[in-house]
Structures are given as structure tokens and as C-alpha cells.
Amino acid sequence: MASLVTCPHCGKRPKEEFTVKGAALTRPAVDAAQDVWFDYVYLRDNPRGAYQEYWHHTSGCRRWLVVTRDTATHEIFQCHDAAERGEVTA
């Protein structure tokens, strides 16, 4: 896993300062079908390559971030505050 994360508020920090919540997925509509919700809650693609996740800067600014990283090369493409965008793409 990527070892240095550039927090938009704090700068470059070691991954030990963060807590990973998991894939940043678009939340289905409240009345979406049960299989759509099942997919959202339980099923993950586990791709080789670009992946977007929620990371919490627990031991730093305590902001929720959206980190886009490569699961194979550990490269981080983008890191922004989760409040900056209402919706995430996945």
C-alpha cells in the first residue's frame, strides 16, 4: 500500500497517520432495489489498478479524504478533502 499520502491540509504524511474506510462509492437512492443496496454494502470489485477510497487523517487534521491510488504500483494520483465534492465516482 502507498506509504506516503499527500493530505491537502497537512502535506506529505506516512500512511500510519491514516485510517482507511474503504471504497468511495456513490450511495444508491434510498428506495433503490435490494440487489443495488446489497452490491453497495457488500460487493467490491478489487481491481488491479486505479481505486478510489475514503481515508481519514486520524492522527492529523482529522478530515475525511478521497484518495485515488493504484493498487498495483502504490502510486497516488489524487487526494482531496471529501467535503470538496458532493459525489464521488467509482
Partner 1 sequence: MSEFRVTLSPALGGRAAVSRKGISVEAQPEGTLLHLLVDPTMGDAVRLAADLMAAGLELRPLTTGQWFAVGDTALAHADLAALSATLKPQADIVDQSHGRVRIIVKGKMAARVLSKGTAVDLDIAVFPVGHATTTLFGHISAHVTRIGEDAFELIVLRGFAESLWDELAQMSLEFS
Which of the stretches 8-16, 33-41, 44-52, 67-75 binds partner 1 when contact is defined by CB under 8 A? Answer: 8-16
Q: Quick check: 56 binds partner 1 (CB under 8 A)? A: no
Amino acid identity, position 58? T
Pick 57 or 69: Cβ nearer Zn ion: 57
- 68-87 mask for partner 1 (x: CB under 8 A)? -------------x------
From 1, 26, 31, 62, residue interacting with partner 1 (rule: CB under 8 A): 62
Amino acid identity, position 81? D
The sign of the dihedral angle between the CA atoms of 56, 62, 65, 68 is: negative
Residue 60, φ and ψ in degrees, nearest 5: -135, -120
Angle, vertex CA 15, rays to CA 67 and CA 73, nearest 5: 60
Which of the stretches 28-36, 37-45, 48-56, 59-67 binds partner 1 when contact is defined by CB under 8 A? Answer: 59-67
